[in-house]
Copies of this chain bind each other. A is one copy, B any other.
Amino acid sequence: MSTTDARRQDAVRPDTEVIRSVLDGRWAESRRAIRALADDPLFHPVSGLSVEAYRDRVWHQMTTLAADGRIRVGFPAAHGGADDVGSWITMFETLAHADLSLLVKAGVQWGLFGSAVLHLGTRHHHERYLDDIITLRLPGCFAMTETGHGSDVQALRTTAVHDPATDEFVVHTPDADARKDYIGNAARDGRSAVVFAQLTTADEEHGVHAFLVPIRADDGSPLAGVTIGDCGDKAGLRGVDNGRLGFDRVRVARENLLDRYAQVAADGSYTSPIANPNRRFFTMLGTLVQGRVSVAGASGSATKSALTIAVRYAERRRQFTVPGTDDEVAVLDYRAHQRRLLPALATTYAMHFAQSQLVEELRSVLGGDDTHAQRELESRAAGLKAVATAHATTTIQECREACGGAGYLSENRLPQLKADTDVFTTFEGDNTVLLQLVAKELLTGYREQFGNLDFSGTVRFVSEQVVETVVERTAGRSLIQRLVDAVPGRDEDADLRDRGYQLKLFESREKHLLDGAARRLRRASGATGTAAFDAFNEVQDHLLTAARAHVDRVVLEAFVAAIDTCADTAATALLDRVCDLYALSTIEAHRGWYLEHDRLSPARSKAVTATVNELCAELRPHARQLVDAFAVPDAFLGAAILD
């Protein structure tokens, strides 16, 4: 029919299974195991349930998951697990193709509540609680956020005062602003909660620490002194019982302090292996990094589900005829439609590989004692979480619109995907705040001193350094260096599809943005108080752009490294084109910057747009294959328009 159809015939078509196995990577088996849940109707996404019925259903799904024991894999061998955090995160990521309320509920129970006990607690906590947590005999909450403080965790106002008379902690909510808010598992199912509170012993304040606080009796009624509210209806995740917790001088035993990083003795004396309170606090938070990695992965899966629906629909949906014929045009043949879906698809591929790399890093760093690697991991997790969740939000929205009226009906799943994932940009760290952390990490070689949002500190610190930012390379270092070095001397001579040239453009943008931000902050040297805030604030958007540019570069490098591991020629050729589309559509999005900084000439900038269009046309015949390689089971997609 159209030339596009002709091109479709020509293309050398790799085997979908090959691409799938490149995507599936090391934990392919874990992915397959979760995909197999699609055979059980219990795990199919549904819509239109009442809140109560939905919560019941999710609870039933949870108990089913708990019963078959597969979630043990991420826990220690002593508790029947395999200590395999990579497999656990991959399973979690894959589960995000099923109902996202289940995903979040599982994330709260095992990923947050369970991990907090595992990583912030010590042996006696593990022995006493972990099995019950794994089997769901002890449903629990992760109660950090308060009504008044979400992003600024150090400013939490719930108190935990050691009472030497009884050797207990008194957990207390001083006012409504300090009640715990949005807490998953709190409104209905939780029996216990890890509560973050300001610890005071013998009149000394030690900052935020985590305590295990029972909240409900076995019959489900709140324990004495505990007030529990329901957050009510939400945009999505309506199967998750988010709630509010207040404590009126609730007493817990001293053992309920999760005491891996700080211990309180019976007499109230306080000890910690980490002297600096700031560092201690961020070390504790750092152990919870897998939550962010999980959300980044889950965003990727939801994005893949949405793209699978939208691309498959766009292949079959026809609207308007080719002039002079009765043939109706498949909407994916329209350039405008390709523009809406294919760069997003390419970006989803790129992020997939960055995510896999991050999980690898998590696996190798977690539990070790390389604090530099740990900070690097946290920063990378923060950055990728922010970028992946933002990508999910815009892409799922685009997919909804790309399906026209059908995209608005629940029977076609996109409404649930949109509503459920909408909070991903907010929880596990608000994206703006996370990107800011990334920028600060990048700006200093002395990561230990940062991590908090002490503006004057930042300004002063940066000003004291001879700041020369270093672009650190990710996996595949030597490969990438080789590609960059091979770029011809004059950039204008390079082919736009030259990978080294693309890498160079990404890298130079990151470096220039970071250098500029550092210079601007240095100029504000010595400012304090409001002046320091103003100086920081002047640079804030610049910092955020720099952080994004950093993540973009990390993502591209991960894609390049992943393609390098693929042995199949046809698959490599296709993935190379997908990578071109990711790289060039990203450059196109930032072409204003490249033109302003003379990294692209006007003619070359226009050529970038033309090449993106070409790549869309070249990939259009492969679009179906590229989404099929995501291997989302039809029953998980749950979209009637694909029937």
Residues in B neighbouring A236, C-beta threshold 8 A: 415
Stretch at the interface among A251-259, A314-322, A442-450: A314-322
Residues in B neighbouring A401, C-beta threshold 8 A: 425-426, 431
Contact B400 A422 (CB under 8 A): yes
Q: How far is the CA of A427 from the CA of B405 in the complex (A)?
A: 7
Contact A415 B405 (CB under 8 A): no
Say whether A540 faces chain B, with CB atoms less than 8 Å apart. yes
Known: A323-B456, A422-B400. A409 touches B592 (CB 8 A): no
Contact B595 A235 (CB under 8 A): no
Say whether A363 faces chain B, with CB atoms less than 8 Å apart. no
Contact B151 A319 (CB under 8 A): yes
Contact B419 A2 (CB under 8 A): no
Stretch at the interface among A31-39, A188-196, A287-295, A529-537: A529-537
Shortest C-beta distance, A142 to chain B (Å), equals 14
Q: Which of A306-345 contact B (CB under 8 A)?
A: 319-325, 328-329, 333-337, 339
Say whether A475 faces chain B, with CB atoms less than 8 Å apart. no
Stretch at the interface among A46-54, A219-227, A572-580: A46-54
Shortest C-beta distance, A318 to chain B (Å), equals 8
Stretch at the interface among A69-77, A598-606, A631-639: A598-606
Contact B410 A419 (CB under 8 A): no
Closest B-chain residue to A1, C-beta based? B530
Known: A397-B393, A404-B150. A410 touches B234 (CB 8 A): yes
Q: SS class of chain A's interface: helix, strand, loop or mixed?
A: helix
Shortest C-beta distance, A316 to chain B (Å), equals 11
Contact B529 A322 (CB under 8 A): yes
Residues in B neighbouring A595, C-beta threshold 8 A: 591-592, 595-596, 602, 605
Contact B530 A2 (CB under 8 A): yes
Contact B532 A323 (CB under 8 A): yes
Residues in B neighbouring A1, C-beta threshold 8 A: 530
Closest B-chain residue to A340, C-beta based? B432
Contact A540 B323 (CB under 8 A): no
Shortest C-beta distance, A534 to chain B (Å), equals 5
Return the contact of A598 from the options B427, B453, B602 (Cβ within 8 A). B602
Known: A3-B534, A405-B426, A591-B592. A48 touches B613 (CB 8 A): no
Closest B-chain residue to A403, C-beta based? B426
Say whether A491 faces chain B, with CB atoms less than 8 Å apart. no
Q: How far is the CA of A620 from the CA of B622 in the complex (A)?
A: 48
Listed A/B pairs (28) with beta-carbon separation below 8 Å: A2-B533, A3-B530, A47-B232, A48-B51, A50-B50, A152-B321, A152-B328, A181-B405, A182-B408, A231-B411, A233-B409, A233-B415, A235-B415, A322-B529, A324-B456, A324-B528, A333-B537, A334-B537, A335-B540, A336-B544, A337-B432, A400-B422, A407-B426, A415-B419, A418-B422, A419-B419, A591-B592, A598-B602
Which A positions have Cβ atoms within 8 angstroms of B?
1-3, 47-48, 50-51, 145, 149-152, 155, 181-182, 231-236, 319-325, 328-329, 333-337, 339, 393, 397, 400-401, 404-405, 407-411, 414-415, 418-419, 422-423, 425-427, 430-432, 436, 453-457, 528-530, 532-534, 537-538, 540-541, 544, 588, 591-592, 595-598, 602, 605-606, 613
